Structure 1
């Protein structure tokens, strides 16, 4: 009787063990299938995003290329009007228009070259930025100090300048309607170059800081692509970007360039 009971218990435990093993292996198989399906879905999603980005970039390229024709036509007409004009004041206006068209042509050419980067002195880059901002109200509040004017950085002048311009305008909008200042300072640390853009505006809350670089997020009535665009440009240039609240109020944006993106001192 005891042997029979022992055999029955053995059969029960053995059957139970087999069932548990089947359940365990089945669950593991399902988990592997789920992980595989998740990876496939992510790959497909990434490919779809990449396809959209490529199509979008090609459309931008076609659009920018088409802009060159009207810009050339406008430039030619301005030259003709300038040659025929006798009024000195109007000739000055025509020259200003020609310079603006020249900047537009440079921007178009840079965009068509996609991510083309060249070594250029920090002074030329920031003079270009300040020239672009010369017609903006924020120019009155900028305190510009460059301690490494001759040092060269490897950048796409147009996209990098646009990113810096966006940061400066963001600083200006932070104290809009109040007395404020924007410190634009470039410092040389031999193996690195630091770009500081600091303001005495309202700063950012912890929630705003956490979501700052998310596309679509904005504390203003805008598309929310500003800081996301800046971050993507800095990533393309292999720069470190930090945005921090200052202790005495306001916000600071700090960009560190180093490695292959700065020219070594001779």
Structure 2
């Protein structure tokens, strides 16, 4: 790489990546301008719903690009206490448009006590969003049910993310977290690869239970104690 720039968490952005960000922002500006025109012309409320979805998606892309260019510090407040319930709620809010479009039913079954743990909330939110989005995409429209479960034990907090989608076959399970692997049309195989990387770096255990045609369940284990000899080993 020529003249790489290093992010605070060790990731590297090359000149090519920065150029790519610039090129993405150009058509994004065209989308925003077109939306402004359409919002003035379209009065049918049933259609304006989709304009709102496009606008929120465009704004999110713009925010991601802005964070990348400004080298947003994902390591900030890495040791602060955060509520897993709040993070899950924020993840569902981020995925609302997909949930609405596919008419997925979301069920929350949270532990009676809030699950609070010292983590980097921004990184964990990215990992959970990747899992939730995959779950939504695996389910049929109008038939999907996404279930979020939290449980607290003496030593750990658990998160279960369950769907009733198409499930994962044996080959998919073996390659699930490999970089570049995807069984979705047009998929690039980065989401779950980066998810595993985040969880490992955060000392969060992960287990996946799935069979083709029977849905999928991701189980994440957060240790209440961050003492090295008390960390629960990764399942994968």
TM bin (shorter chain)? 0.5 to 0.7
Counterpart in the other structure of 1:217: 181
**Residues in 1 aligned to 2:158 and 2:5: alpha-carbon distance in whole angstroms:** 31
2:81: which partner in 1? 119
Q: Note closer, same or farther for the CA distance 1:237–1:225 as it changes in structure 2 (3 Å cut).
A: same
Q: 1:218 touches 1:224 (CA, 8 Å); kept in 2?
A: yes
Any unmatched runs of 5+ in structure 2?
26-51, 228-236
**What residue number does 2:34 align with?**
none
Aligned to 2:95: 133
Q: Distance in 2 between matches of 1:191 and 1:224?
A: 33
Q: Of 164, 172, 184, which aligns to 1:200?
A: 164
Q: CA 1:141 to 1:53, structure 2 compared with 1: closer, same or farther past 3 Å?
A: farther
Higher share of residues assigned helix: 1
Cα distance change on mapping 1:111 and 1:134 into 2, 3 Å = farther
Q: 1:231-242 alignment to 2 at 5 Å?
A: 231-242=196-207
Match of 1:256 among 197, 221, 224: 221
User: TM-score if structure 2 supplies the norm length?
Assistant: 0.63
* 3-state SS of paired residue (2:123): helix
Q: Alpha-carbon deviations, 1:22-48, whole Å to 9, x = none?
A: xxxxxxxxxxxxxxxxxxxxxxxxxx9
- SS of the residue corresponding to residue 214 of structure 1 reads coil
Return closer, same or farther for 1:198/1:229 CA change in 2, 3 Å cut-off: same
Query: What is the DSSP-based 3-state SS (H/G/I as helix, E as strand, rest coil) of the residue aligned with 1:136?
Result: helix
For residue 140 of structure 2, give the secondary structure of its aligned residue in structure 1. Answer: coil
Larger radius of gyration: 1
Cross-structure match for 1:174: 138
Report the equivalent of 2:230. Answer: none
Q: Deviations over 1:42-71 (max 9, x none)?
A: xxxxxx9xx9895883438x96xx99xx9x
Aligned length: 182
Rounded to whole Å, the distance in 2 between the matches of 1:179 and 1:204 is 18
Give the structure-1-normalised TM-score: 0.56
Structure 2 residue matching 1:184: 3-state secondary structure? strand
Distance 1:191 1:244 in 2: 22
Partners of 1:148 and 1:111 in 2: how far apart? 38
Q: Which residue of 1 aligns with 2:210?
A: 245
Residues 140 and 237 of structure 1, relative CA distance in 2, 3 Å threshold: same
Secondary structure in structure 2 of the residue aligned to 1:219: coil
C-alpha deviation, 1:119, in angstroms: 1.1
